[in-house]
Amino acid sequence: MIVVVTPNPAVDVTYRVDEQRIGTTQRVRSVERRPGGKGLNVARVLAAEDVVTHSVLPLGGASGTWMVDAVAALGQPVTVVSVPGETRSTITVVDDLAHPTMFGEPGPDVPARTWLRVDEAVRAAVHAAPDADALVIAGSLPVGSPPDVVVPWITDALAAGALVVADLAGPALLAAADAGATICKPNRDELAEATGRTDERAGALDLLRRGAGTVVVSRGSAGIAAHTVDAVVEVPAVPGVTGNPTGAGDAATAGLVLALTRGTDIATALRTAAAFGAAAVLRPVAGEIDHDAAHRFTTDLETTRSHA
């Protein structure tokens, strides 16, 4: 069982309009609403692979209520922690003419006492039967939340014998490394931004020195790499895959944690991550992968190992 925490879930709304134009009144032709946030995307991919997940979601207001209903429809265990204020929405405006425009709400102010209730929810989920094999923390924190709210989740999970995958950014990524997360999984930009290092290896070493077990860096079309103190293992991206890259990083996280909880080595886990990421690009929406393609891709990829 894999516990998945989404610290700042969002209602992902897509508006289709005839033509995006600033300063006008635009009739929205169609509205789609989906439960969003990186952790929820990870949980959806895992659920589609028949892995039992337990999601922990701080939710509030009317959009929070909508999310509870939408997530319950996925048929997986969920613990909802009520937060004051309104769960954020992200609105993506699309037409057939220009790039999409995305408006991201900041998310609610989550007070310290609410984070204590999230701590309890994570602890309960990690210790619930069946034992948790892993804890995944994925996505941003609400604006204004202290980055170290993630620390007790990580220490509890590690103490319970679960591995921890932290797909975080900024100071929360550093806090996860400090807390000894088994895997810190930023993309290249997030790693550079959090550590202030433009060199990937240097940034990864910073996180390793802080306490991260392994630093997995997703490189988009340049593949994925795992850094430990004495080695770098690299897997290229699946070649020739085009489609919708939204959610590909989340699918990669799902592939990574799925492989690791099944006891594979890091090279196989990276191949699974790259394959799941590519298989997500083949699907039109985030949180889904092309199952057959994912398993075909996994066996096709080659791994390079270099000793540092």
Query: How far apart are alpha carbons 129 and 123 in whole angstroms?
Result: 12
Q: Is 28 in the site for a second copy (CB under 8 A)?
A: yes
- Taking CB under 8 A as the rule, does residue 119 contact a second copy? no
Query: Applying CB under 8 A, does 96 fall inside the site for a second copy?
Result: no
Asked if 113 is part of the footprint of a second copy (rule: CB under 8 A), the reply reads no
Beta bridge partners of 33: 13
Contact range with a second copy by CB under 8 A, out of 25-33, 144-152, 281-289, 300-308: 25-33
265 is catalytic: no
Cβ neighbours of 33 (radius 10 Å): 14
Q: Which is nearer to a second copy, 22 or 73 (CB)?
A: 22
Regarding 73 and contact with a second copy (CB under 8 A), the answer is no
Q: Which window, 42-50, 99-107, 111-119, 200-208, contacts a second copy (CB under 8 A)?
A: 99-107
Gap between the Cα atoms of 267 and 293, Å rounded: 19
Q: Enter the DSSP assignment of 57.
A: E
Which listed residue (230, 250, 265, 290) is catalytic? 250
The yes or no reply on residue 161 touching a second copy (CB under 8 A) is no
User: Between 103 and 159, whose beta carbon lies closer to a second copy?
Assistant: 103
272, 264 Cβ separation under 8 angstroms: yes
Of positions 18, 21, 222, 229, contacts a second copy by CB under 8 A = 21
Which residue among 73, 99, 242, 302 contacts a second copy (CB under 8 A)?
99
Q: How far apart are the first and last CA of the chain?
A: 34
Nearer to a second copy, 24 or 242 (CB): 24
Is 244 near a second copy (CB under 8 A)? no
Rounded distance between C-alpha atoms, residue 16 and residue 12, angstroms? 13
Q: What is the DSSP letter of 144?
A: T
Selected range binding a second copy among 57-65, 178-186, 201-209, 293-301, rule: CB under 8 A = 57-65
Pairing of strands 88-94, 10-16: parallel
User: Given the complex with a second copy, which of 27 and 307 has the nearer CB atom?
Assistant: 27
Residue 33 lies near a second copy (rule: CB under 8 A): yes
d(Cα 102, Cα 189) in Å, to the nearest integer? 19
84 binding a second copy? (CB under 8 A):
no
Closest CA to 204 of 269, 39, 213: 213
Helix, strand or coil, per DSSP, at residue 44: helix
Residue from 110, 66, 105, 67 nearest 85 by CA: 110
Residues that bind a second copy (CB under 8 A): 15, 17, 20-29, 31, 33, 61-63, 65-66, 86, 91, 93, 98-106
